[in-house]
């Protein structure tokens, strides 16, 4: 079977080579998770960038649905002879198609990049085959919540931990306005959190559904935004409770309070064992970082020291802006061996 993946073109031509590289990495991870043998090539067709997948066997509807997880992909075609036939979208779409895109701010991670990281995290985990179930995705350094918003868009549960109070307040106002505007039934609750017996932040939790009928039946999803220090993650989340963690570490340029006292790397080193404890066996942690402030091999070593194994992802290093060269790693909390 021959498939052609039309990629989203980036308006800024400087980003296109890195997007192509990320799209390739993402597609390979999706295919590897399905254990289908395939070849992957780049092709320009009619001036647009495509990735071509060729497999010996026909792909099932379920397998095609998995390809629709590819965040970099705009449309999927089946190639038959000279013809390219568009295949209907099977992208996971639960709620809020526009939710992750409306809030604009400096320091926001590109939504498509974050979405690709979620896909990579899923595909490298033991939950790849249940990618369309109610996974719990946490961003332990969430900023204004791009990751948990993308998670609920897919029908997952989203959780964010963020130290910046104003970030959490902005997300709170935005989520309430979004649900009200779209007439989505929801419940919002704010609770105080304790860490080692002391006041340790606030949790905002929204419970909502894709329809009023589902909401009434209790078929709901949740979105949580925790205002607190990620080094205390185990005080906020249950152990072995999160399928995936996906995060874009502070760049050490202008974002982030991590680092003020003891440095970004020290903060992440301290947080990694907490993150490990929160992730379910078989789950993954997908982290991007600025190579000007953190070295890949140091981050991998700290991850291994916390108990993770390193998943090989291939070259992902790419230019973002003058002071930011971004890379990403995937770490796995190995599941119980059968």
Ligand X SMILES: C[S@@+](CC[C@H](N)C(=O)[O-])C[C@H]1O[C@@H](n2cnc3c(N)ncnc32)[C@H](O)[C@@H]1O
Kindly state the smallest distance separating residue 294's Cβ from ligand X, in Å: 12
If the CB atoms of residues 63 and 170 are measured against ligand X, the closer one turns out to be: 170
Task: Specify the residue, 162 or 210, whose C-beta has the smaller distance to ligand X.
Answer: 162
Nearest residue (CB) to ligand X, 147 versus 220? 147
**In the complex, minimum distance from the CB of residue 167 to ligand X, in angstroms, rounded to a whole number:** 6
* Shortest Å, Cβ 85 to ligand X: 36
Nearest to 264 by CA among 303, 291, 294, 295: 294
Question: What is the smallest separation between the CB atom of 241 and ligand X, expressed in angstroms?
Answer: 18
**Nearest distance in Å: CB 107, ligand X:** 6
Task: For 265-288, give one letter per residue: b (16+ CB within 10 A) or e.
Answer: bebbbbbbbbbbbbbbebbbbbbb
For the bound state, the minimum distance from the C-beta of residue 284 to ligand X, rounded and expressed in Å, comes to: 17
Distance from C-alpha of 144 to C-alpha of 106, rounded to nearest angstrom: 10
Question: Would you say 67 or 142 has its CB closer to ligand X?
Answer: 142
Instruction: Kindly list the residues in this chain that would bind ligand X in the complex (CB under 6 A).
Output: 107-109, 141-144, 146-147, 161-164, 167, 229-231, 248, 250-251, 255-258, 267
- 92 vs 115, 172, 211, 223, CA distance in Å? 12, 24, 16, 17
If DSSP states are collapsed to H, E and C, what string results for 183-219? CCCEEEEEEEEEECCEEEEEEEEEEECCCHHHHHHCC
**Tokens 């939950």, residue located:** 127
Minimum distance from residue 152 beta carbon to ligand X (Å):
15
**Residue 122 to residue 141: CA distance in whole angstroms:** 19
Between helix 146-154 and helix 111-123 the angle, nearest 10°, is 60
**Residue whose CB is less far from ligand X, 23 or 161:** 161
In 87-156, where do the E strands start and end? Answer: 136-139
Nearer to ligand X, 107 or 155 (CB): 107
- Comparing CB distances to ligand X, the nearer of 208 and 251 is 251
Cα–Cα distance list, 307 to 162, 276, 331 (Å): 24, 7, 9
In the DSSP assignment, the letter for residue 57 is S
């Amino acid at each position: 079977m021959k498939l052609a993946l039309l990629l989203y073109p980036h308006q800024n031509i400087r980003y296109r080579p890195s997007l192509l590289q990320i799209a390739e990495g993402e597609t390979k991870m999706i295919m590897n998770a399905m254990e289908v043998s395939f070849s992957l090539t780049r092709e320009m067709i009619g001036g647009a960038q495509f990735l071509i997948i060729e497999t010996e066997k026909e792909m099932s509807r379920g397998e095609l649905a998995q390809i629709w997880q590819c965040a970099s992909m705009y449309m999927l075609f089946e190639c038959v002879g000279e013809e390219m036939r568009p295949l209907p979208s099977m992208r996971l779409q639960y709620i809020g198609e526009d939710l992750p895109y409306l809030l604009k701010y400096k320091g926001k991670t590109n939504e498509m990049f974050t979405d690709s990281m979620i896909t990579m995290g899923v595909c490298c985990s033991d939950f790849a085959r249940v990618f369309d179930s109610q996974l719990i995705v946490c961003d332990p350094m969430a900023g204004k919540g791009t990751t948990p918003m993308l998670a609920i868009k897919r029908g997952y549960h989203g959780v964010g931990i963020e130290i910046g109070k104003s970030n959490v307040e902005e997300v709170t106002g935005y989520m309430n306005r979004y649900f009200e505007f779209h007439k989505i039934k929801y419940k919002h609750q704010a609770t105080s959190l304790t860490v080692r017996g002391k006041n340790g932040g606030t949790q905002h939790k929204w419970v909502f559904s894709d329809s009023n009928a589902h909401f009434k039946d209790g078929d709901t999803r949740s979105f949580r935004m925790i205002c607190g220090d990620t080094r205390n993650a185990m005080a906020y989340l249950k152990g072995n409770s999160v399928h995936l963690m996906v995060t874009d570490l502070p760049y050490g340029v202008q974002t982030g309070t991590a680092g003020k006292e003891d440095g970004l790397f020290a903060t992440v080193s301290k947080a990694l064992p907490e993150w490990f404890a929160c992730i379910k066996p078989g789950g993954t942690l997908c982290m991007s970082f600025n190579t000007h402030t953190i070295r890949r091999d140091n981050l991998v070593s700290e991850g291994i020291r916390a108990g993770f194994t390193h998943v090989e992802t291939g070259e992902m290093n790419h230019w973002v802006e003058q002071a930011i060269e971004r890379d990403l790693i995937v770490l796995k909390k190995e599941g119980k061996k059968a």
